[in-house]
Structure 1
Amino acid sequence: MAKILQCYFIILSACILLCSIATGEETSYMKTSELKRRQLIRKKLTHFRVYWHDVVSGTNPTSVPIVRPKNFTGFGQINMIDNLLTTEPQLSSKVVGKAQGFYGLASQEEIGLLMAMNFVFTHGKYNGSTITIMGRNAIFNKVREMPVIGGSGLFRFASGYAQAKTHSFDLKNGDATVEYDVYVTHY
């Protein structure tokens, strides 16, 4: 009988909690917010193209290994990045921000990277705003698509995708320039 009463109490408590959530009553740890219909209609789509400069050579690299692999394939290597984002493929063109985060060689069969980075904008309308990109980057594919999983500032509630295309890669020093076409929906 005691077990039946315990089960009844648990079910009753769950029902009360669900009813309070459904009716909008607040609890000490949860609040429900309603987005107004006009806010949903005001959702924007922003497209931008930037060039990502991965500099591994020289005296001031923007990409450095923090974990080195224990095998010849490179699997397991992780690089921390603070790469410039420019408006044109030349490193000397206008800087609009930085890509900060890391990438790691996450595939044993091919060169497939796990990318986790924030595009931090430092100029123009989006100065101080960020978007977060996290996904798989099979660098030998002509076009790679990765999801935009969030953002801050003017990109709050961001979602979307980024398409990466290698613009140039220097076989001698390992430096690369990658074109990123990014499509972001946000409020």
Structure 2
Amino acid sequence: MKLIKRVNFVSFCALILCMVTITFLRQHSAVSPPLPHQMLEKETVLHFFLHDTPGGNSPSAVRVVQTNRTVHDTSRTPFGTVWVVDDPLTEGPDPKSTVIGNSRGLYVSAGQKELMLVAYLDFGFTSGEFNGSSISVLSRNPVTDIEREFAVVGGRGKFRMARGFANLKCIFYNESNGDSIVEYTMVVRHY
């Protein structure tokens, strides 16, 4: 009889301990973010201007690598050359218009017979609704085409799990120093 009372008492204590533990864990555990299939996908269209300035005293694009095979190549973009960029993004085409972020990343000259860059860029927004968020692209960039398209491959912040495309249109190009202004219209799907 004493054994049965002990088992009942131990069982009762274990049950109380489990209930207290479950209540504690519910109140103090972190809430997991919803999984992608539980979230609603949004579509955002962005319009802005990128100012690429490889020339002048304060360039926003700098050549950092060039192979020895192309040292005597006098073109602006010899095959195998790599540039690091930190280009401002503005609301309008005028370089003095409001800056809304920057485009940072790399250009690699990947065309042996034609001018073809491959671009990895992260478009970070520093003002407005998307402040602190960014969109990443990885795409070929046929720079001699006035109109072209980039693939959106990701993002962070409000653009988490982004996918989509960017239509580019060169609205200004200076042949002597390579400076350009490119209009971007991005269509981005994200959660």
TM-score by length of 1: 0.77
Match of 1:55 in 2: 53
**Correspondence 1:94-133 to 2 at 5 A:** 94-133=98-137
In structure 1, the residue matched to 2:12 is none
Aligned counterpart for 2:84 among listed residues 76, 80, 83 = 80
Q: What's 1:175 paired with?
A: 179
Q: Percent identity?
A: 36
Give deviations 1:64-118, integer Å, cap 9, x for gaps.
0001254225111111000000011111011000000010110111111100010
> How many residues were matched structurally?
152
- 1 CA distance for matches of 2:95 and 2:160? 29
Letter in 1 for 2:50: W
Deviations 1:46-78 (A, max 9, x none): 001111111111211110000125422511111
Q: What stretches of structure 2 of length at least 5 have no aligned partner?
A: 1-33
Asked whether 1:145 is paired with 2:149, we answer yes
Q: Secondary structure at the match of 1:97?
A: strand
Give the superposed CA RMSD.
1.5
Q: Which runs of 5+ in 1 are unaligned?
A: 1-32
TM-score (norm 2): 0.76
Give the whole-Å Cα distance in 1 for the aligned partners of 2:150 and 2:175: 25
Q: Moved runs in structure 1, 4+ residues, more than 3 A?
A: 33-37
CA positional deviation for 1:142: 2.7
Counterpart CA distance in 2 for 1:177 and 1:34 is 39
